[in-house]
A and B are shown apart, each in its own frame.
Chain A
């Protein structure tokens, strides 16, 4: 993927919440056309904030990009509204699914096509049902009463209805059974291959994210501390130790863990 042109580039952005809380301290990353890029890190590392900075949903949380800039297809996008960005093909799937609980599954999907014409909407609905046959079965149910996995599918399907070129996917594995997580990631891979949708994917589940992502960035305390090809990151000793739970000595019991055996080399 390294050869493809950059679709989205985030350049040294700093994000401040409520005018005082500095959350991102200079994050830079690149998503290339057709890529799946993983954004990894623990709670509070700044993954979600980075995605929100791109999709411009920050303002609603009283956050603001104070330094740096974000380019999508060569255009500066920090000043656009979320709706403008959706029209340009960037959609965020928020952490925790955020389906419209009182709307049916199908109505949820239809809201995703708000920026699209009628014909595109009908065609989009067919396509989403192709990828998520489960949703077709449950199309008439109120979304609030569907399962977590179905809600995640609804959320992704809803984003798909906008015919995006890039989906910002926040924590798709949250609260789902491992098998479902696998299923969701398989669909992500399929969408990436068939629909040519690029993904920027925030995940805590480093293990699965690195299996599917072509490239990854690791965030700690609002900074990118490491980046590289997915496979290379998964082999990195530090990543193994701190994010994948393996160390040089193979599996170990947590009873024996007193302190980290390795120092984080990037600090």
Chain B
């Protein structure tokens, strides 16, 4: 028996919340769509980080706390390398660095801890997080760096004829969306259709059984951490180009936590959808709910963006702990 109604209720509440600003005439359509797009774009960035979480969790059952640190590390590597070589070469080199990092993590952290409790592994990745945060600054420096993708940052006005004032969009945002879509499609195919992808899913289900049929755990982990490293790199480059590469990147990346809770820890699609929901949700809440709170309760308003995602995740944990698209725990009784 699936009890769907709490999820449906939550979904309905979100949709109503989404429609309310328009319905009450609190916002013009043009502005509303701009906020929506802005939210979606932030959401894509959350999704990219969440994707890294989901990948590693799916393939090794490890909750990798270090994903945010990996984003920062990769972004730092690209930013600093790009000072010396062309951007494309910097990205290639940084990818190689991330693969090497995956290899080292497997050797030094995961291999000695094989088959330990999930909590042990979580603590280990926490260690990796702090190491990477510090080591990244040791190697690459701790200033704020820029990544220039070479795409015009000036927003373009579109649909001027349809709305009064038109909608401001950014070319770079569209590129980001394309990249994210491509990544997801590629990864889904990889997981579902290839022998390696199947082996990755097998390892996720049961380490020991996977070993017993001759799947070498060590290779699998290197592969999955490399892929997660690459995803972190993509996220890092995109985020870095928009916000600048700095220490706070690693913190922003923690927003991916509620995203994976919402989308489901094991689901690639979930990471994407969850990211979009949270991105849009928090932008909408900040822009439209904030002023309402100010008026109604005489609060200071603002800051909703910071907690909205977590409250949403908490509600989800109550009604649907496996997330929107997560694998359900199968129990035979």
* Chain A interface (Cβ < 8 Å from any Cβ of B): 55, 57, 59-61, 81-83, 85-87, 91-94, 98-103, 107-108, 110-112, 114-115, 142, 144-145, 148, 158-159, 161-162
Given A86-B213, A114-B214, 7 other A-B contacts at CB below 8 A?
Answer: A85-B214, A91-B212, A92-B212, A93-B212, A100-B210, A102-B327, A108-B202
Interface centre among B114, B198, B201, B209 (most CB of A within 10 A): B209
- With contacts A61-B115, A81-B216, A142-B330 known, is A100 near B211, CB below 8 A? no
- With contacts A142-B330, A144-B332 known, is A100 near B201, CB below 8 A? yes
Are B115 and A82 in touch, CB under 8 angstroms?
Answer: no
A70 to B199, CA, bound (A): 29
CB distance from A87 to the nearest CB of B (A): 7
Can you identify 28 A-B contacts, CB atoms within 8 angstroms? A57-B212, A60-B115, A60-B207, A61-B115, A82-B211, A82-B214, A83-B216, A87-B214, A91-B213, A92-B212, A98-B206, A98-B212, A100-B209, A101-B205, A101-B206, A101-B330, A102-B204, A102-B205, A102-B330, A103-B202, A107-B198, A110-B195, A111-B210, A111-B215, A114-B199, A114-B213, A142-B330, A158-B213
Interface of B is mostly: helix
- Lowest 8 A-B CB distances belong to which pairs? A86-B214, A144-B330, A98-B209, A100-B205, A83-B216, A111-B202, A115-B214, A60-B115
Q: Does B208 contact A (CB under 8 A)?
A: yes
Are B199 and A111 in touch, CB under 8 angstroms?
Answer: yes
A112 to B330, CA, bound (A): 21
Interface centre among B201, B204, B208, B327 (most CB of A within 10 A): B208
* Chain B interface (Cβ < 8 Å from any Cβ of A): 114-115, 195, 198-199, 201-202, 204-216, 327, 330, 332
- With contacts A101-B205, A103-B202 known, is A114 near B215, CB below 8 A? yes
Selected contact of A103 from candidates B114, B195, B198, B216, CB within 8 Å: B198
A112 to B215, CA, bound (A): 8
| Residues of chain B within 8 A of A159, CB atoms compared | 212-213
Closest to B213 in A: A112
| Residues of chain A within 8 A of B201, CB atoms compared | 100, 102-103, 107
Are A162 and B213 in touch, CB under 8 angstroms?
Answer: yes
A81 to B201, CA, bound (A): 20
Interface centre among B114, B208, B210, B213 (most CB of A within 10 A): B213
A145 to B333, CA, bound (A): 11
Closest to A107 in B: B198
Selected contact of A57 from candidates B199, B206, B211, B332, CB within 8 Å: B211
CB distance from A18 to the nearest CB of B (A): 13
| Residues of chain A within 8 A of B330, CB atoms compared | 101-102, 142, 144-145
Are A57 and B208 in touch, CB under 8 angstroms?
Answer: yes
A95 to B115, CA, bound (A): 17
Interface centre among A59, A93, A101, A112 (most CB of B within 10 A): A101
CB distance from A148 to the nearest CB of B (A): 8
Are A103 and B205 in touch, CB under 8 angstroms?
Answer: yes
Are B198 and A91 in touch, CB under 8 angstroms?
Answer: no
Closest to A100 in B: B205
| Residues of chain A within 8 A of B327, CB atoms compared | 102
| Residues of chain B within 8 A of A59, CB atoms compared | 114
| Residues of chain A within 8 A of B216, CB atoms compared | 81, 83
| Residues of chain B within 8 A of A110, CB atoms compared | 195, 198
| Residues of chain A within 8 A of B208, CB atoms compared | 57, 60, 94, 98
Are A82 and B212 in touch, CB under 8 angstroms?
Answer: yes
Interface centre among A60, A87, A107, A158 (most CB of B within 10 A): A60
Are B209 and A99 in touch, CB under 8 angstroms?
Answer: yes
Interface centre among B195, B205, B210, B214 (most CB of A within 10 A): B214
- With contacts A83-B215, A100-B201, A162-B214 known, is A94 near B195, CB below 8 A? no
Interface centre among B195, B199, B210, B212 (most CB of A within 10 A): B212
CB distance from B203 to the nearest CB of A (A): 9
A87 to B208, CA, bound (A): 17
CB distance from B2 to the nearest CB of A (A): 14
A115 to B330, CA, bound (A): 28
Closest to B196 in A: A114
| Residues of chain A within 8 A of B115, CB atoms compared | 60-61
- With contacts A83-B211, A83-B216 known, is A114 near B205, CB below 8 A? no
A195 to B195, CA, bound (A): 25
